[in-house]
Structure 1
Amino acid sequence: MQIVLILSLVAAALGSGLVAGIFFAFSTFIMTAFSRIPAEQGIAAMNSINVTIVRSPFMALFVPTAILCLVITVLAVINWRGGASALMLAGAALYVVASFLSTIIFNVPMNDALEKVSGNGPEAVALWSTYLEDWTWWNHVRTVASLLASVAFVRALMIV
């Protein structure tokens, strides 16, 4: 059982850390770059990313990491290890709630709304402006949560 726990924590630390890195790129330069181009081009680029990402290896990282977090939650509870289990639960909660579920609840609906507009008319420009601000804010949340989850898993590994 110990080897399953260790492998799960290593995989979750790597998965949440890689996801944090991807989100970090969007928060720190991709969305900023998109804000500097005309709305029509930014919308087209983001819509292309949104179609591409669901068919990319990112999904083979993002979803399984969430599932692994649920496994870690069970392992933490059924074999309570004090501080290590608390860190495991914190990491799992951060990733599942603030990274995975916030994506589904906030970012995906914004992506769906963006998919319905094109061009550079007033409606598209207004939506794009709001999208850039709101989507990026929630992406910051996902970035920090994924990074903190990775740190919690690494810390749990150090004391398990």
Structure 2
Amino acid sequence: MMVEKVRLVIIILINIGIGLNAGLFFVFSTCIMTALSNIRSDKGISAMQAINIYMLNPFFAIVFGGTAFLCIILIVIELFYWNGLSSILILLGSSLFLIGTISVTMLFNVPLNDSLAKVRTDTSQSTIVWSNYLIQWTKWNHVRTIAALFSMLCFILGTLQLYK
């Protein structure tokens, strides 16, 4: 069936996208933010400001936004071509990615990044702002990481169920 082939291709592409996102978030949570927190605040702020500028590139946009777009398409497919437990797991995986990764990014990480972009590193307040940023941004990044990993697990289990 054509729908099943399209579904499988979309699931594979979503898993690749979620895997790339989960890996990126994981590296930030376990390495990058720790490294930035252990250097002088002015250097950490400057580094994160640069990261936030260069993160906005076509490759990241395709992986981040494209995965979300494919999740929305797959939700529609699953609702029209219901396949029991497989569809439940795939809908759960899509929802986890859209809510736990995309929404968390837009509601928490991006506003924190936007605020940090305005910080001047030569002020006495910058150290306090940086300390708060590190705590809040990393906390929400942990949420994104966990959501992406569980989302990927749901897609894997849903795919296995689909072809059982």
Quickly name the TM-score band, shorter chain normalised: over 0.9
Q: Deviations over 1:3-53 (max 9, x none)?
A: 001111111111111100000000001000000001100000000000001
TM-score by length of 1: 0.97
Contact in 2 for aligned 1:13/1:151 (Cα 8 Å) = no
Structure 2 counterpart of 1:130, from 129, 132, 140: 132
- The alignment partner of 1:80 has SS state of coil
CA contact 1:10–1:154 (8 Å) conserved in 2: no
* Number of residue pairs matched by the alignment: 160
User: Are 2:22 and 1:20 equivalent residues in the alignment?
Assistant: yes
Report 1:1-160 matches (<5 A).
1-160=3-162
Question: SS of the residue aligned with 2:82?
Answer: coil
Partners of 2:90 and 2:77 in 1: how far apart?
9
Note if contact 1:95-1:145 (Cα within 8 Å) is conserved in structure 2: yes
Question: What's the offset of the Cα at 1:76?
Answer: 1.1
Following superposition, the deviation at residue 121 of structure 1 comes to 2.7
Unaligned runs of 5+ in 2: none
Question: Structure 1 CA distance, aligned partners of 2:155 and 2:28?
Answer: 23
Asked whether the 8 Å contact 1:39–1:120 carries over to 2, the reply is no
Within 1, Cα distance between the matches of 2:57 and 2:9?
Answer: 27
Structure 1 residues without counterparts, runs of 5 or longer:
none
- How far apart are residue 56 of structure 1 and its match? 4.7
Percent identity over paired residues: 39
Q: Work out the CA distance in 2 between the residues paired with 1:132 and 1:11.
A: 32
Cα distance in structure 2, aligned partners of 1:69 and 1:89: 8
| Root-mean-square deviation over aligned CA pairs | 0.9
Mapped partners of 2:79, 2:58: distance in 1: 33
How far, CA to CA, are the matches of 2:77 and 2:143 in structure 1? 26
> How many Å apart are 1:114 and its aligned residue?
0.3
